[in-house]
Structure 1
C-alpha cells in the first residue's frame, strides 16, 4: 500500500481464529483509500489457538501488525488500547473479530472523518447481541456461505439482519449531531475516532474486565470533551453468527452499567443504568433501548422548574446535629446555609451543581442511582422539585432512596422533612 498511512483497523481477539480469518479476508479485499493506505492491528488478549498463524497468513495481503497480552481474564478494553498504541495512524477504526467489513469500509470511515465528524458509528448488519444463532432462521447458513456484499444485497432489509440500532439511527436521519445522548450508540463492534481524540479522552477504561460497557464509557468521555458523533451506513460491516453466552453477557453488561454510572454519576448515566439494571438485581434489555427521550424530559423539567424555590422545605435541616447523615434530592439553586457537613445535596439541573454551586457541594444527580452504599445514610429528603419527573421515575427514586437511607421523607407523599 503506497502513500501515507491514513487509518488503522484495530481488532481485539481471544481464541477466535476462524472468525478472525473471515474478518482479515474481508479487509484484504478492501478498496484502498484515496491518497494513502491502512494497516490492520490484531490485538490478542492471550489466545491459545491458531490466532498467530492466521495473522501470518495475511502478511502478504495486508499491512498487518500483531500484539499480544497475557491471558489474565477478559481484557478487551486493554487489548484495544494495546492495538491503538501499536499504530501511528491518525484515524483508529475498531472492529470486532468475526465482523466482516464491506469492500468500501475503510474508505467510508475516512470519508466520514473528513466530513468533520470525529466519532463514527459504523452500521453493522446482523449485530444483535441479545439474539443467538438459533434465532436467525435460515440466515445463519447464508451468512457463512455468501460474501458480505451479496448477503447484504439479498437480506439487508430483513429484521434479522439489520443493525439492532437501526430504528434509533433512522430517527435521526443517520446523523447524530442533533441527539442529546449520541454516545449511547457508539459501539466498538464497528466504530472510528481520531487517534488524537481517543488519547485525549484516555482511551478505553481498562477497569472493564467483563463484557459490555467500555465502549459507552469511551463515548461518554468523548462527548464530554466536545467530540461530534454520526452514523455511516457506507462504513458497513457484517457480523458472523456465532454462539453467545447470552445470560452471562447481559448480566455482565448490566453490572458494567453500574460501574459506568459510579464512574460518571449524573442523571443521563443514571437513566442509562435504569434500562439495564433494575432494583433487586434484575436486568432488562430493550430492542429499541435509548435514553434520548428520557433525558430530554429531564432537561425540559429542569428548564421549566429552574425558578422553583424549595428553601422552605429544607429549612428544618438547619437544626440537624453535625453528625447527621442526610441526602437531599432536588435541593434547587439556593439550599439553606449552615447545613451539617453530613448533609449531601443533589439536583438534576446542572445549572445548580458542581464547583459553582453553594459551597461547591451540590452533586449532579436525579436519584435513580446514587453513588452511595446500602444503608449509608440515616435519612433521604426528596423535595417537590422532583414532581415533574415523579410519574415516570418516582418508583425508581423511592426504591433507591430506601436502599441507601433508613428513612425517606418526601413532600410529594405529603410528608414534610
Structure 2
C-alpha cells in the first residue's frame, strides 16, 4: 500500500511540475526549441529602448496606435530638430497579443523607412519596451495638423498660402506615386504642418505598393473616398489619392468639407449633387464597377451638371476650379496625375505659391505644461477630440492617426468656435 501511495504522490509531483510555467523557457522558436533572449541585447537588436525618450503629452489616437510627443534624452542640444519627436505606439489588441506586431504597423514601418522626402513624415527609429508587444515608431515631429487648423483655429488661408500647401501635397504624392506607393488615406488630419511651413503626409497604416492583385475598397475616410472605391472597385490605382487631394484643396479654400457624407450612400449622393450624375459618356467603364447596378437607386435628386464653378464663384480663379475639377474627374483613367498637377496653370498664374518659410505659424497650446507622460494632467491642454476628418470611416478607415490639438482660444486672444464633425 505504501509503495502505491508513493507512486501516486510521485505522479502528482510530476503533474505539478508539468503545470509549473517556470519549467519552460519564456521564449521558444516555432519548432519548440528554447530561446535564451536577453531583452537588453537580443530582443532590442538595433532598436532603442523606450526609456531613452521622455514622454511629454498625448497628441492623437487612431485605430492602429496612440501618438505622443516626446523628448529624445540622447540629444542634449534642444535646438536640434529631432530633439522633440512623435512616438507612435503600435496598438496591439488583447486578442492579438500572442500573434506579434500587427501587419498594419509592419507595413507602415517598412514603407516609411525607405521613403525620404521633405513632404513625407519620416520614421527616425523604432523603440521597444520590456515586452514583445511594446513597440513604438519614433517619427519626426510636426507642430500642427491641417484638420485642426481648419476646424478649431478656423484659419483662412490666402490664395498664395493655399498654393503653397497644394504644391507640397502634390510634390509628396508625386514622390510616393513614382515609387508605386498608394497612400489610400489622404485627408486633412493626415497632413501635418511644421513650424517652418513644411507639409508632411502622415499615417501610412493603409498604404500599399501598387500591384495587379485585388485590394479592399474600404479605404480612405468616406469624405475623401473616390467614386470607384464607393462603387466597390478592388483594382484601383494612385488616382484614389488624387481624388482625395482635390477634396482637401477644396476644403482648405472653402473652410468646410466639400462632400461630408454620413456613409457611402450619402457620399455618392453628395458627389452627384456637386459634380453631376456619372454616365458612360464621361466614364466608359462605370458599368464594370461592382456596385454600379445599385447606383440609380442610391442617388436621389442629383444635379445634372457640375456645380464646382458655382461653388467657388468669387472665391478663387477659374484655373483653381479647373485643377480641382481635374482631380475630381469621375473616370480614374482620365484623372490628372500628381506630376500633371504640378505643371498646371494654377501654379503659374498670380499669385505665386508663398514660400514655406513665410507661411503663418500658430501656437502649440502650452505643450510644455505637463511632463508626466499622461494625457489626464490638469496642465496638459493637448486634447484628443476623437475621430475627425471624414466622419464615417467604413470598414477600413484608420481613424485619426494625425496629431490633434486644442488651441484653447489662443488665437488673437479671442475664443475660437470649434466646428464639430460627424462621427
Q: TM-score range by the shorter chain?
A: under 0.3
Give the structure with the larger strand fraction: 1
Give the structure with the larger helix fraction: 1
Give the structure-2-normalised TM-score: 0.27
Question: Whose RCO is larger (CA < 8 A, sep 6+)?
Answer: 2
Give the structure-1-normalised TM-score: 0.27
Bigger radius of gyration: 2
